């Protein structure tokens, strides 16, 4: 029988999905009743799905999202201020194709990071390259890159990613140099990539976070004019996990 050499060659060609579907068809006698075109079409479809799932897993791994979130798990309780219609609008990820940003604000513990990771995960699912950074770690990475001479390389990496997530912007004080480097990141991405920003501070208070008012104006100019803004409300969701 030729099925073993055929399966071996399929795996050697990295057609794993097709090889698995081929084995399944052989194990199902009724598959022989299908026309050749139908059986072959099922093999090709399985290979396509296997490749897409593998690519998604790779993108998700490279994204390094803080939480394993997805849009289907979002809590739309009225008290949270999270509108299902807005998330339904964002779900197809047209905002990525149009290089638009998303700004998520609200009090600590209200689920900003989860929403950001859910949107980023959907971007991964639709074929986009994503990278997550906790804001304090991003600024530490910029400082380290400046010290060891790899800043240009890091800036190029951040410019190329299609969706950049900066979580908890404004949580720690940043100096003028760090703000200017962040401005350079946003300037490189303006019109070429999308950025998701989460912050405990409302946008109206962001000038207080940036030491230089001119830099603050430039940051806001590149972030908010083409941004979707989500303003979350309510008590900390972490309280639900606290034992009485």
Which tens digits make up the pLDDT trace of 167-215? 999 888 888 888 999 999 999 999 999 999 999 999 888 888 888 889 8
- Sorted by sequence, the CB contacts under 8 Å of residue 160 that are 6+ apart come out as 129, 193
Model pTM score: 0.83
pLDDT digit string, tens, across residues 46-72:
888 888 889 999 999 999 999 999 999
Average pLDDT of every residue of the chain = 89
Query: Terminal CA-to-CA distance of the chain, rounded, Å?
Result: 66
The residue written with tokens 């339904």 in the block is 88
Question: What's the order of all strands across the beta sheet hosting 194-199?
Answer: 130-134, 163-167, 194-199, 101-105, 227-231
Classified by CATH at the fold level, domain 64-236 comes out as: Rossmann fold (3.40.50)
- Sorted by sequence, the CB contacts under 8 Å of residue 176 that are 6+ apart come out as 211, 212, 215
The DSSP element (H or E) to which 94 belongs, if any, is helix 94-97
Residue intervals in the chain for CATH 3.40.50.300:
64-236
The residue written with tokens 């790899």 in the block is 150
pLDDT bin (cut points 50, 70, 90) of residue 124 is very high
C-alpha of 98 from chain center: 15
Helices (H) and strands (E) in the chain, counts: 10, 5
Q: What are phi and psi of 117, to 5 degrees?
A: -65, -35
Q: Dump the DSSP string for 109-141.
A: TSSHHHHHHHHHHHHHHTT--EEEEEHHHHHHH
Spatial distance between the Cα atoms of 229 and 74, rounded to a whole number of angstroms: 17
């Amino acid at each position: 029988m030729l099925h073993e050499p055929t399966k071996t060659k399929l795996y050697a060609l990295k057609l794993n999905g097709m090889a698995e579907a081929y084995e399944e068809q052989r194990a199902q006698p009724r598959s022989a009743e299908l026309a050749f075109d139908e059986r072959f079409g099922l093999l090709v479809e399985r290979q396509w799905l296997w490749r897409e799932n593998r690519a998604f897993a790779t993108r998700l791994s490279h994204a390094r999202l803080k939480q394993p979130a997805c849009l289907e798990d979002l809590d739309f309780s009225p008290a949270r201020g999270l509108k299902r219609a807005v998330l339904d609008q964002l779900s197809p990820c047209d905002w990525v194709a149009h290089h638009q940003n998303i700004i998520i604000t609200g009090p600590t513990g209200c689920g900003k990071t989860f929403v950001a990771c859910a949107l980023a995960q959907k971007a991964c699912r639709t074929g986009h390259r994503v990278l997550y950074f906790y804001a304090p770690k991003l600024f530490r990475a910029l400082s380290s890159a400046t010290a060891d001479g790899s800043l240009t390389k890091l800036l190029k990496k951040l410019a190329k990613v299609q969706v950049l997530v900066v979580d908890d912007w404004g949580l720690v004080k940043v100096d003028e140099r760090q703000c200017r480097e962040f401005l350079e990141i946003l300037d490189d991405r303006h019109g070429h990539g999308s950025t998701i920003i989460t912050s405990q501070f409302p946008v109206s208070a962001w000038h207080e976070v940036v030491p230089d008012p001119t830099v603050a104006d430039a940051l806001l100019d590149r972030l908010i004019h083409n941004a979707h803004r989500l303003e979350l409300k309510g008590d900390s969701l972490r309280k639900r996990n606290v034992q009485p």
